Amino acid sequence: MTDQTDTTAPNPDAPDTIVLVHGLWMTPRSWGNWKERFEAKGFTVLTPGYPGFEIEVDALRENPDLIAKLTVPDTVDHIAAQIEALPKPPIIMGHSFGGTLTQLLLARGLGASAVVVDSAPTEGVRVNPLSQVKSLFPALKNPANRHKAVGFTPEEFHYAFANTLSREDSDAVWKEFAIPAPGNWVWAYGLIANFKPGRQETWVDYSADRAPLLFIGGSEDHIMPPSVNTSNAKHYAKSPALTEYHEFPGRSHWICAEPGWEEVADYALDWGLAHAKATAAATA
């Protein structure tokens, strides 16, 4: 049995809400463990889905056209509206492309602090390891996929997402959680955006001030390896805001639910609370 001792924030100015932003090929269902754990500690936890993701996994698999034309700006607007409606700034946490969305939300001045886990990069991050290219090849191999929702086969999912699990366990994860994703998103973020003129959908001002931000990486992640996350973090070197990186050894892209996920969740929460509280105290 895991320890879920109440560690509710000790002062009234600290965030009491956590917003969990899921990534591509997933739905809010992927945050189930973290939501339950944080709620047991006394927090309100929101897991906003992307527009069109309000239905269940099986329904999205059967009719992926529902999400094929979804755009990044529309999704950021959708999540931002929910955060702006809160009485005080929350801690925002994002996994994978949810990490990209979290960075875009911070760029709008939202959040008291933020943690991105195995984050997809924002524009300008030019580190593209071979394992990342191989992982994303199902979406990138055909330009026509920009107008479709593209999914992983169980074999592709095992390599990209859950390579630290057995194939049997990975297949079980795929069956319960995996859905197609808008192909245009893969073409929109840093991997492709870096070769297009002008600012793209995932551009942020790396020199701007914003809430404190922690990058968490998994050493065995294939699709968003540590080198991608460390490069993304270093791009914020000119920002006056705090940016840090922490790496967990032996973790894959399925870091938020693979064995030992509790350690990752608690580290993210402790960091988010500590630096959000420090920010609030400095402001006061």
Residue 237: how many other CB atoms lie within 10 Å: 9
Give residue 10's pLDDT. 54
DSSP conformation class of 242 = -
Structure tokens belonging to residue 128 = 């593209």
- Three-state secondary structure call for residue 196: coil
Structure tokens belonging to residue 22 = 């899921």
Task: Please list the ranges in the chain whose pLDDT falls under 70.
Answer: 1-11, 188-199, 277-284
Residue 138: how many other CB atoms lie within 10 Å: 18
Fold held by 17-151+180-283? Rossmann fold (3.40.50)
- Three-state secondary structure call for residue 245: strand
**Residue ranges per structural domain of the chain:** 17-151+180-283
Give residue 192's pLDDT. 58
Q: Residues 6 or more apart from 119 whose CB is under 8 A from it?
A: 94, 95, 96, 98, 99, 100, 102, 103, 215, 224, 228, 229, 232
**Alpha carbons 85 and 88: distance in angstroms, whole number:** 9
99, burial (CB in 10 Å: exposed 0-12, middle 13-18, buried 19+)? buried
pLDDT single digits (tens) 50-103: 887 877 788 888 777 777 888 889 999 999 999 999 999 999 999 999 999 999
- Residue 15's identity, in one-letter code, is P
Q: Are strands 17-21 and 91-95 parallel, antiparallel or unpaired?
A: parallel
Give residue 279's pLDDT. 53
Give residue 5's pLDDT. 44
